[in-house]
Chain A
């Protein structure tokens, strides 16, 4: 019996049905399909909640095994477990507005994010100084764009030369946005192609489960 559900065709049928249920209401007024679409999307939401719980359990199991075997970095595993479960229990027990929950978030998460951002900026500058070279036309163009945008985003740049303002705006609004648009259209077309490949069973990873 279970063999039937492992068949590639079954996966394909489920995928195609889910696709059509979610896709058709965007283009046609079909109340029954729309209701079905709402229901399946609700299932997807429920599955995503369950996935978060599974992720928490799985992460705990990995770190508990690490602690038991005393493998390299087990101390970090212990800190992770303590903090994650503290946040889960404090959030569930006292609510996210309680000081016992928010203090840890504000004192640790916010500060560490600032720390990471600050550290990256140092390495970014060092890397810029050592690697941004005008080696050929393309790298020279990139360098000019970097300098123009940096100066445009700093008030002192506009004091040095007011032209950085319109030039920087043009770089961001036209050149960068144009390149981004091309990239987005490209990824959208690639997404459609991938979807079609899944639907006609050419993507073996999906079709075979």
Chain B
């Protein structure tokens, strides 16, 4: 007779792969939209972006690599879109070599392009790309002496009113790696700038620490935050659709763990308790 507990404890991983593949393909072909609540963090983030006034100065820190295209793109796009609606003056900067094309993708997204056009952004007048600011030391000097760091390239433009980071009201950190640590250490601890960050799920607890300590003004977890932002801004897109697949995969993962544990208590634990026979013999 087949021992069901043994079967449960020793399921071949190819069966797991097949199960997951089926869920992913099925979820992509037939997306299911499920009701979801807006978390407190996302709602707070949204409300605080709404505080931005026309003419405020915002730095957009682009430090994300292509990985953000996978699951956080809606959050990036819609947060930038919401900021643009508020018409702050924007300083754009890039902190990693692989973030240049990501920034280009973001600025060339039809939604952002339209928003920029509608809000009358003109390069050099209320939108300036200062280019590459590489590493924490560069951020230190930029924050301390804006024109000195940029070799006075922007003297005579609207950026004349920026002496140091105290003159900048908001800082939006699109950094997927450790960039936000730099922002916390070198900007929020020293200057008055309010920092917004977007995090991947694994790092979000670190952002919570910075928020609770008052270093970050608002933070959002990028994956579920993407879907929540689509709901808040009423721009329903890929993130809301993806939550159906996420639901199914998470549920399948939980079921797999439960089945494995039933197998463990029914068979595996007893097997492990048995003394090992033929100890000392050679095995292949």
Among A34, A44, A169: residue with most chain B CB under 10 A: A44
Among A38, A41, A42: residue with most chain B CB under 10 A: A41
The docked-state distance in angstroms from the alpha carbon of A11 to that of B154 is: 39
Q: Specify which chain A residues have a CB less than 8 angstroms from the CB of B145 in the assembled complex.
A: 38
The docked-state distance in angstroms from the alpha carbon of A172 to that of B251 is: 19
The docked-state distance in angstroms from the alpha carbon of A154 to that of B134 is: 37
The docked-state distance in angstroms from the alpha carbon of A26 to that of B140 is: 11
- Report A185 CB to chain B, min CB distance, Å: 10
Q: Specify which chain B residues have a CB less than 8 angstroms from the CB of A130 in the assembled complex.
A: 11, 13, 260
**Contact segment of A57-65, A66-74, A114-122:** A114-122
> In the complex the two chains form, is B257's CB within 8 Å of A38's CB?
no
The reply on B2 being an interface residue by CB < 8 A is no
> In the complex the two chains form, is B67's CB within 8 Å of A133's CB?
no
Using A109-B66, A153-B201, A155-B36 as known contacts, say yes or no to A128 and B257 having CB atoms under 8 A apart.
yes
**Contact segment of A1-9, A75-83, A173-181, A200-208:** A173-181
Q: Specify which chain B residues have a CB less than 8 angstroms from the CB of A158 in the assembled complex.
A: 36-37
Using A49-B134, A106-B101, A184-B209 as known contacts, say yes or no to A156 and B247 having CB atoms under 8 A apart.
yes
> In the complex the two chains form, is B141's CB within 8 Å of A41's CB?
yes
> In the complex the two chains form, is B206's CB within 8 Å of A165's CB?
no
Query: Nearest residue in B to A123 (C-beta to C-beta)?
Result: B13
Q: Specify which chain A residues have a CB less than 8 angstroms from the CB of B17 in the assembled complex.
A: 122, 125-126
The reply on A146 being an interface residue by CB < 8 A is yes
Q: Specify which chain A residues have a CB less than 8 angstroms from the CB of B69 in the assembled complex.
A: 110, 113-114
The reply on A151 being an interface residue by CB < 8 A is yes
> In the complex the two chains form, is B16's CB within 8 Å of A38's CB?
no
- Report B245 CB to chain A, min CB distance, Å: 10
Chain B contact patch, size range: 35 or more
The docked-state distance in angstroms from the alpha carbon of A41 to that of B11 is: 56
Q: Flag B9-23 by CB within 8 Å of A: 1 or 0 each.
A: 001010011001100
The reply on B51 being an interface residue by CB < 8 A is no
The reply on B167 being an interface residue by CB < 8 A is no
Q: Flag A122-144 by CB within 8 Å of B: 1 or 0 each.
A: 10011011101111000000010
The reply on B5 being an interface residue by CB < 8 A is no
> In the complex the two chains form, is A134's CB within 8 Å of B261's CB?
yes
Q: Specify which chain B residues have a CB less than 8 angstroms from the CB of A113 in the assembled complex.
A: 65-67, 69-70
- Report A98 CB to chain B, min CB distance, Å: 10
The docked-state distance in angstroms from the alpha carbon of A126 to that of B14 is: 8
Within 8 A of B (CB), among A11-43: 26, 34, 38, 41-42
> In the complex the two chains form, is A105's CB within 8 Å of B101's CB?
yes
The reply on B39 being an interface residue by CB < 8 A is yes
Chain A contact patch, size range: 35 or more
The reply on B259 being an interface residue by CB < 8 A is yes
> In the complex the two chains form, is A156's CB within 8 Å of B34's CB?
yes
> In the complex the two chains form, is A156's CB within 8 Å of B251's CB?
yes
The reply on B137 being an interface residue by CB < 8 A is yes
The docked-state distance in angstroms from the alpha carbon of A143 to that of B253 is: 12
- Report B222 CB to chain A, min CB distance, Å: 12
Query: Nearest residue in B to A96 (C-beta to C-beta)?
Result: B100
Q: Flag A94-116 by CB within 8 Å of B: 1 or 0 each.
A: 00110001100110011001100
The reply on A194 being an interface residue by CB < 8 A is no
Q: Can you give 16 A-B contacts (C-beta < 8 A)?
A: A26-B190, A97-B104, A110-B66, A128-B253, A128-B257, A129-B13, A129-B257, A147-B257, A154-B246, A155-B247, A156-B247, A165-B37, A173-B205, A173-B208, A176-B205, A181-B209
Interface residues of A (CB under 8 A from B): 26, 34, 38, 41-42, 44-45, 48-49, 96-97, 101-102, 105-106, 109-110, 113-114, 117, 121-122, 125-126, 128-130, 132-135, 143, 146-147, 150-151, 153-159, 165, 169, 172-173, 176-177, 179-181, 184
A-B pairs, 8 with minimum CB distance: A156-B247, A126-B13, A155-B34, A154-B250, A129-B256, A155-B36, A154-B247, A110-B66
